[in-house]
Structure 1
């Protein structure tokens, strides 16, 4: 199973805990079930405990202690905030990991003598802590308790999926406590939850069967009969389930609204009223993920006011959605890591049988044709700015979308502030006009990114198409050269294919100092003349060469008489001590003019003429 997501067994365990929470009212029974399930699926856990903060005693009280403990003694321990691993997680309001005996011992040193004595009596003498995870139970941004897992074996280490599970279990425990309070306060409303239990069971089945986010949204929509919109952590619409009456205009309005509210969510849910097209809706926004790591929000638009039990049931559904989002994100990140490692190795040119086999496992045909693209991003105001993971993740999705086609596929991976994409083309795809097609796709991608992120400058370098994986690294080197050229030299468009490079390849092979030396040698007197007299000889020469030395076309383009042009050309020959009809010096002049036009900082030429 992949490293950063929950295992199938853990996911089933979490669903079982959810069902227990929905089917039992006794909070102590629920806590016992939570600890049983958690310890059973976390291999490194030899014991565990759930602590709830008691306002009257101002202490954390152990409500469940299982595993290698004597519960009747352990439950006598009462911790203040900041005391031991559990108290530290409570104070920090975040998951804390104590990886080894040294860290655990240091944390245990904060125990009061009485609590230390109780702890020593509660654990068999032949066992001692080797590592500990403590995760807070947060309710509406407030820490109300802690779940702690303890390991007693050096050979067993907690894993990232164990931490993910414990954080998810903490969310479930918070829901359980909130629901327990609702049950106690409103017995009449409890009976209404039977419907919510059925919803949750159906949601659980969808998750186990791998149906995905949209199926979950459709189920909730069909059950409650209201408009639902799911937004990610930066307010982008990820999925929706609405009646046909919900127009495109209303969707666009909610997209704009979500960008404001999702980024400022502080509580588990907010309730307000909103007017769209003269219709008033009750708007409920439910947060996804945790306060420390938001995954976005679920927005419900309802004509009728929703009661607390309905909202609590939806919050529970949000737990399932959050888990699915975490799973999708973990799968995406793992795929990115695996493909990124492959693409990075591929671009080094070190091809061997192991890499070829890995290519086949990742669905890369060694005999297909390949083109490397580099999409470079820079902030218009701050070139050194490093973009956040969520921006790069969105950009990666955008790169993957427009480049896909029936006879092609794309693999895009992050490389600092740029994305490296490998375009795979079926071996039967003709190379005829393929460069133009790829450039057109690149232009569409560039426009799409600019429309979404106006503050980002996008440059795209495209290597030449190569037959087979063994030559892919050459295309990558070419794309890199294109990006280098776009960064260092003046170029009207921010998309450049290596196929289009002519004299520019000469530029890439030399330092700017060497290029300036060459320009000075060939054009220096003319540039100096222009700087001192602000004439039009240099621009005339550029147009003359662009028009293939055609006198009439050049004169028409400059809007001057042919006699005037002839005079200017004669003056240019005098200044440069050359004959524009002599092919050898003309070649050097033509080359120097081309390079001169690409030099961004032409003022640097002044030092050669001063």
Structure 2
């Protein structure tokens, strides 16, 4: 302080006042210019970075510089997927603040974001009015994240960050000291800054998305190159599966539902269940595994599957030991792996089809029996011997489908089950259309009846899994190549007989018995014969009297009257009355061998055909 005894005149006092005002104005102008230059410099620096994370921190730093009374800042960006606000940049907080999530319908952040209007909160009381609907736990998370102890928020600025209609987020500025009160000018300055910052954020976000897309396309291209090379090298399935596991960074397993085999990458423990070993659910190609990549069905509690299809036909699936959703690149890896696996399997199917055709052509030569010596040599390639009895087995899959691929798939699956049998011997085997043909030696495989038992077990499991009926017939075993055609013919008759009776499983020709005599008869001729004999008993008044039922029970009980009456719950005298009535209506004598055979045969054929 300057002390003086000089008395200033009024003019001198006015001059002194003007000088002091000039100094103060110059100081204020210099301060404003400094702030303005800092603000402009901040705006220029915003355009200097296109990396979003770096840019957000830069924005936060400059926002605090533009407002000298600011103590801490927080930028929250809107996440459209979760529809909440997530911290992306901060100053004056611990990193624990990044765990905070703000709802778009509550608190200061939600209000400013939803309304799109900047707000100044000059006092704590004004702040409290807008945070009453935020739960205490999340409020505590924010308060506990401040750098420093016993800090009190005295004021706050909340500004929406947006570009046109694109809502980006909210900028929050906190004031811990009460040396000055935040006012509308501070808010306008921050809003102007954030408006420019929004442009930079949008550009940086576009640049970041472009980098991500380029990186994604480059990685996708690399994945494609790797699998293309595997395809060129004709790599085995084991290598394809291992490559997929290496790229995914976790072990996987591929299940071939047609060949009924598994291919596991290193580190993957595939545990076969009782269902697997018996050949049911895990091998089925029904819709229980017909899922798309977005809704993987889990065969176990901690795994999911990725199906591999040939059109609408499921040929296998990758089994993944994860429960979370797949990342985009993981989808690409499995998509590319599936394409190569499918190509590999199509090649195998083509080779299998070629082998089937060769076997079928050789079998046709056996049926024609033109060159016995050459045929005997050919049999040895299949482990068969012309010197031992040979027989033929035929299986027919009644899949009732018009899709050739599905029908072929059923044949391949059934053949795979036959080939998996541990007790299988040597045989010539091939599939064609909806049939499977086997040529066996009694010495190298088993007798016709033993093979029928083995095939019945396979067919039983198959039908339990797929609900698709399979019929089979086996011819007799005979010595000599010229007898193969005979056994083949008998197998076909047994198969036809089984289909007529809708009796699934395998039937040997020997089991048909007397019905062999009628296999060549037209079904209509058999029906006409049955109607000719039994139709008189089917007149309504006689049908009501249960005469035909009585006749059939009499035949079933081998013409023993007491047993028949007991089964029908009638008195023996009533039975005799009915039998005499049957003789009168049919005009036969049941004690006559010829008449008895005629009636017996009609009843038998009506039940059999």
The answer to whether the 8 Å contact 1:233/1:262 transfers is no
Q: 1:579 aligns with which of 572, 575, 589?
A: 589
TM-score, reference length from structure 1:
0.51
Partner SS for 1:484? helix
Distance 1:493 1:551, change over 3 A: farther
Distance 1:275 1:452, change over 3 A: closer
Whether 1:439 aligns to 2:416 is no
Whether 1:452 aligns to 2:468 is no
Q: CA deviation at 1:549?
A: 1.6
Query: CA separation in 2, counterparts of 1:246 and 1:545?
Result: 55
Q: CA deviation at 1:392?
A: 2.2
Q: 2:268 aligns with which of 243, 247, 262?
A: 243
Whether 1:496 aligns to 2:496 is no
Match for residue 228 of structure 1?
252
Partner SS for 1:399? helix
Q: 2:496 aligns with which of 467, 479, 484?
A: 484
Whether 1:519 aligns to 2:530 is yes
Partner SS for 1:501? helix
The answer to whether the 8 Å contact 1:235/1:262 transfers is no
Query: CA separation in 2, counterparts of 1:539 and 1:471?
Result: 44
Query: CA separation in 2, counterparts of 1:227 and 1:372?
Result: 45
The answer to whether the 8 Å contact 1:395/1:449 transfers is no
1:84-483, aligned counterparts within 5 Å?
212-214=236-238, 216-217=240-241, 221=245, 226-231=250-255, 238-241=262-265, 243-244=268-269, 285=306, 298=318, 300-302=320-322, 321=341, 324-348=344-368, 352-379=372-399, 385-402=401-418, 404=421, 406=423, 408-416=425-433, 418-427=434-443, 431=447, 434-435=448-449, 437-454=450-467, 456-483=468-495
Partner SS for 2:607? helix
Q: CA deviation at 1:589?
A: 2.4
> 1:232-291, CA deviations, whole angstroms, 9 ceiling, x for partnerless residues?
599987534463497959999x969997798676xxxx6889889776x8x7959689x8
Distance 1:537 1:401, change over 3 A: same
> 1:491-536, CA deviations, whole angstroms, 9 ceiling, x for partnerless residues?
5556432211123222223233433454355x24643556654322
Query: CA separation in 2, counterparts of 1:365 and 1:546?
Result: 45
Partner SS for 1:424? strand
Query: CA separation in 2, counterparts of 1:486 and 1:293?
Result: 29
> 1:406-440, CA deviations, whole angstroms, 9 ceiling, x for partnerless residues?
46234443333x21321413427774xx41x3332
Query: CA separation in 2, counterparts of 1:333 and 1:346?
Result: 20
The answer to whether the 8 Å contact 1:372/1:462 transfers is yes
Query: CA separation in 1, counterparts of 2:287 and 2:445?
Result: 46
The answer to whether the 8 Å contact 1:411/1:423 transfers is yes
Partner SS for 1:557? helix
Query: CA separation in 2, counterparts of 1:261 and 1:563?
Result: 60
Match for residue 600 of structure 2?
590
Partner SS for 2:398? strand
Q: CA deviation at 1:594?
A: 1.2
The answer to whether the 8 Å contact 2:284/2:466 transfers is no
- The more displaced of 291-300 and 350-359 is 291-300
> 1:67-94, CA deviations, whole angstroms, 9 ceiling, x for partnerless residues?
xxxxxxxxxxxxxxxxxxxxxxxxxxxx
The answer to whether the 8 Å contact 1:235/1:259 transfers is no
Query: CA separation in 1, counterparts of 2:240 and 2:382?
Result: 29
> 1:85-104, CA deviations, whole angstroms, 9 ceiling, x for partnerless residues?
xxxxxxxxxxxxxxxxxxxx
Match for residue 563 of structure 1?
573
Query: CA separation in 2, counterparts of 1:527 and 1:447?
Result: 39
Partner SS for 1:420? strand
> 1:169-209, CA deviations, whole angstroms, 9 ceiling, x for partnerless residues?
xxxxxxxxxxxx9999559x98xx8xx9999899799967x
Partner SS for 1:539? helix
Query: CA separation in 2, counterparts of 1:571 and 1:552?
Result: 18
Q: CA deviation at 1:335?
A: 1.1
In structure 1, runs of 5+ residues without a counterpart are: 1-180, 600-610
Query: CA separation in 2, counterparts of 1:531 and 1:461?
Result: 42
TM-score, reference length from structure 2:
0.51
1:531-570, aligned counterparts within 5 Å?
532-570=542-580
Match for residue 48 of structure 2?
none
Q: CA deviation at 1:540?
A: 1.8
The answer to whether the 8 Å contact 1:228/1:298 transfers is yes
* Equivalences, count: 395
Distance 1:328 1:273, change over 3 A: closer
Query: CA separation in 2, counterparts of 1:508 and 1:313?
Result: 57
Partner SS for 1:413? strand
Q: CA deviation at 1:338?
A: 0.9
The answer to whether the 8 Å contact 1:530/1:538 transfers is no
Partner SS for 1:466? coil
The answer to whether the 8 Å contact 2:383/2:426 transfers is no
In structure 2, runs of 5+ residues without a counterpart are: 1-209
> 1:525-567, CA deviations, whole angstroms, 9 ceiling, x for partnerless residues?
6435566543222222222222222222222222222222222
> 1:109-165, CA deviations, whole angstroms, 9 ceiling, x for partnerless residues?
xxxxxxxxxxxxxxxxxxxxxxxxxxxxxxxxxxxxxxxxxxxxxxxxxxxxxxxxx
Q: CA deviation at 1:396?
A: 3.0
Query: CA separation in 2, counterparts of 1:292 and 1:260?
Result: 10
Q: CA deviation at 1:334?
A: 1.6
Query: CA separation in 2, counterparts of 1:278 and 1:405?
Result: 32
- The more displaced of 506-515 and 330-339 is 506-515
